[in-house]
Amino acid sequence: MPRILLKDIVKRYGKVIAADIPYLEIKDGEFFGLLGPSGSGKTTTLRIIAGLTKPDKGRVYIGDEDITDVPPEKRNLGMVFQSWALFPHLTVFENIAFGLRLRKLSEEEIRKRVKWAAELLQISELLDRYPHQLSGGQQQRVAVARAIVLYPRALLFDEPLSNLDAKLREQVRFELRRLQKELKITSVYVTHDQAEAFAICDRIAVINKGKIQQIGTPEEIYNRPETVFVAEFIGITRFIKGRVEDIVDESKGIIRVLTEDGLELYSWANLEKVKKGSKVFVAVRPDFISLVSKELKEKNVFKAKVELATYEGDVMDYEIRIGQWRLRFKTPPMYRFQPGQEIYVKLHEDKLIAIKE
């Protein structure tokens, strides 16, 4: 299966830059995620790959072939739309066979391929039905079957799970990933849902305002965000603003940060970008914080005041305040703190991420 390569892509709508991608390579057989808020340009990027949107500038390659000027029907790609876009006037069988019929395959070959795809997606018993007789989950499967039955060079997904309910969505994530690994089809997956991208994709590009903010594995994106946008977009993130006082540990990348209200904080930072004296945002997420039993004379241990407490069944979700900084913090439900109560917490210095302002 070939790679997909975007080079110097620019697409504008009026003054708005929908996509500005100098270089993006999606590797052979990779499940690649385009993650960003709505209007970030992730769908535009996908549509450029599909050939449904023409870039103002730049080239698109599949393998070594320049497909920039190839119309969508000649690209041999599979695409699953957000609405699934099943043809309402055709049965499930004919929906899946649509592309095969256009390729003028023999009836026997068409039957064989539709059967194969239907079995893979576990929809064999639905072949005679019409789309309006199917549940959302079933429609989604038909849409995937219709895309893979053509043995496409790559699969493109445009938020295919956003119309499913939360429970089903989680289940389908794993199925999609398994399917993609089984078929080894280079795939691009557009979503605004971080958990979905993390569960499904090998690598992810976080996009904002048409520009790629960061590319990496889910772990890299979560643990080592390079920009304030990425840190804020991924997970439940709060920031503590301060100035780098000194570099504490060069090899581990640990720095000491001082805030305006006199808080002293140790944090990890990318020392190539963050220098002594830099103004930084320190990203703090609930899982960077743990509870300590009493006031310890240790670094990064602070007294915090519980501001809000929310019972969520499997966890307690708190908003706590350290000095002027409001943070989010979660505990198992056996700990129950009331608003106004004072607790002691430790912020893990190797997890905190200081990002240059």
Binding interface with other proteins (CB under 8 A): 50-52, 71-79, 81-83, 85, 87-89, 98-99, 102-103, 130-132, 146, 150, 156
Cβ proximity to other proteins: between 76 and 278 the closer is 76
- C-alpha of 41 from chain center: 14
Minimum separation from the CB atom of position 131 to other proteins (A): 8
In angstroms, what is the minimal distance from the CB of 98 to other proteins? 5
Question: Rounded to whole angstroms, how far apart are CA atoms 11 and 13?
Answer: 7
Measure the CA–CA gap between 168 and 236, rounded to whole angstroms: 23
Q: Which is nearer to other proteins, 149 or 269 (CB)?
A: 149
Tokens of 259: 């805030």
- Consecutive H or E run containing 300: none
Residue whose CB is less far from other proteins, 77 or 254: 77
**CA atoms of 327 and 235, how far apart (whole Å):** 13
Q: Write the DSSP symbol of residue 350.
A: T
Tell the smallest beta-carbon distance from residue 142 to other proteins (Å).
Answer: 12
Cα angle 246, 220, 157; round to 5 = 150
Q: In terms of CB distance, is 96 or 284 closer to other proteins?
A: 96
Q: Minimum distance from CB of 100 to other proteins (Å)?
A: 9
Nearer Cβ to other proteins, position 127 or 271? 127
Q: 223 to each of 45, 217, 235, 295, 327, how far by Cα in Å?
A: 26, 10, 10, 28, 18
For residue 73, the minimal CB distance to other proteins (Å) is: 5
**Which CB atom, from 156 or from 345, has the smaller least distance to other proteins?**
156
Q: How far is the CB of 65 from other proteins (least distance, A)?
A: 17
Q: Give the angle subtended at the CA of 253 by the CAs of 250 and 256, to the nearest 5°.
A: 90
Counting Cα atoms < 13 Å in the Cβ hemisphere of 345 gives 29
Token pair listed for 229: 């946008």
